[in-house]
C-alpha cells in the first residue's frame, strides 16, 4: 500500500489558549471535490463519510499530528490522549493539545493569527477502499471509501493541490477502462454476428416460403 498526502484548506481550523492549555482544532470535509490531481492521468478526488470509520472505531490505531510534517515536532498523539478524533455527517474533526514547547507555541500563534490556514492528512488506501468512476462530463473521479489515517496536521499551504496518489492505482484504472472498452467491443461484435446470423436465417426461410 502506498502512503499518500493531501493538503487543502482546513475547515474550522483554529487555536485557543485557555484553562485546558493550548488546543488546536480543525476538520476535513466529506464529499467535496478536490482540484484536478495527478500527472498524465488527471482526476479529482473526494472523501466519503465512511472513509475513516475503521480508524475511528479502533482506538488502538495510532494517528499523529505534527507541526509542518516534522516528526520531531509532535502536536498530539492519539494513544496519549493528546489527539482526539470524531466525526459528524459532513466532517472529520480533530482536536490536539499542543505541547508547551517552542513549536507548540509557534503553531498556536500562527493559527490564531491566520498565518496558517491549511490542513494536511497522510493516509494509505486499504484494499477495496477506493472507487473510480466518470462523471457526466467524463471527468475521472476517485472516492476514498476506506483508508488508514496516519496523520492530521496544520499546514501553511491551504490548497488541495499536492498529490502523491499511487501511480499503480491510476494504472489500474486505465487498465480497467481499457478492459471495459475491449469487453464492450466484444459484446457489440457478438451482437452484430448474432444479427447477421438471424438475418441469414430469415432470408433462408423467406426463400423456402417464396422460392
Indicate whether 167 pLDDT > 50.
no
pLDDT band at residue 171 under the 50/70/90 scheme: low
Hey, where are the domains in the chain? 3-165, 166-211
pTM over 0.75: no
- Rounded to whole angstroms, the Cα distance separating 84 from 98 reads 12
Cβ–Cβ < 8 Å for 95, 25: yes
Which triple of cell numbers denotes residue 78?
492519539
Q: What is the pLDDT of residues 46-60, one digit of tens each?
A: 999 999 999 999 999
Which triple of cell numbers denotes residue 1?
500500500
Indicate whether 194 pLDDT > 80.
no
Amino acid at each position: 500500500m502506498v502512503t499518500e498526502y493531501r493538503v487543502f484548506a482546513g475547515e474550522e481550523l483554529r487555536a485557543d489558549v485557555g484553562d485546558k492549555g493550548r488546543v488546536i482544532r480543525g476538520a476535513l470535509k466529506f464529499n467535496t471535490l478536490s482540484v484536478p490531481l495527478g500527472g498524465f492521468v488527471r482526476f479529482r478526488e473526494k472523501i466519503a463519510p465512511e472513509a475513516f470509520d475503521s480508524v475511528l472505531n479502533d482506538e488502538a490505531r495510532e494517528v499523529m499530528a505534527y507541526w509542518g510534517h516534522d516528526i520531531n515536532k509532535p502536536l498530539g498523539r492519539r494513544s496519549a490522549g493528546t489527539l482526539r478524533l470524531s466525526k459528524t455527517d459532513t466532517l472529520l474533526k480533530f482536536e490536539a493539545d499542543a505541547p508547551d514547547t517552542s513549536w507548540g507555541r509557534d503553531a498556536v500563534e500562527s493559527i490564531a493569527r491566520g498565518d496558517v490556514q491549511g490542513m494536511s492528512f497522510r493516509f494509505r488506501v486499504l484494499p477495496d477502499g477506493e472507487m473510480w468512476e466518470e462523471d457526466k462530463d467524463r471527468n475521472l473521479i476517485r472516492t476514498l471509501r476506506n483508508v488508514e489515517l496516519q496523520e492530521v496536521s496544520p499546514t501553511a499551504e491551504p490548497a488541495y493541490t499536492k498529490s502523491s496518489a499511487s501511480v499503480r492505482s491510476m494504472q489500474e484504472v486505465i487498465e480497467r477502462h481499457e478492459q471495459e472498452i475491449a469487453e464492450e467491443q466484444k459484446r457489440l461484435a457478438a451482437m452484430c454476428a448474432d444479427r447477421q446470423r438471424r438475418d441469414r436465417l430469415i432470408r433462408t426461410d423467406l426463400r423456402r416460403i417464396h422460392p
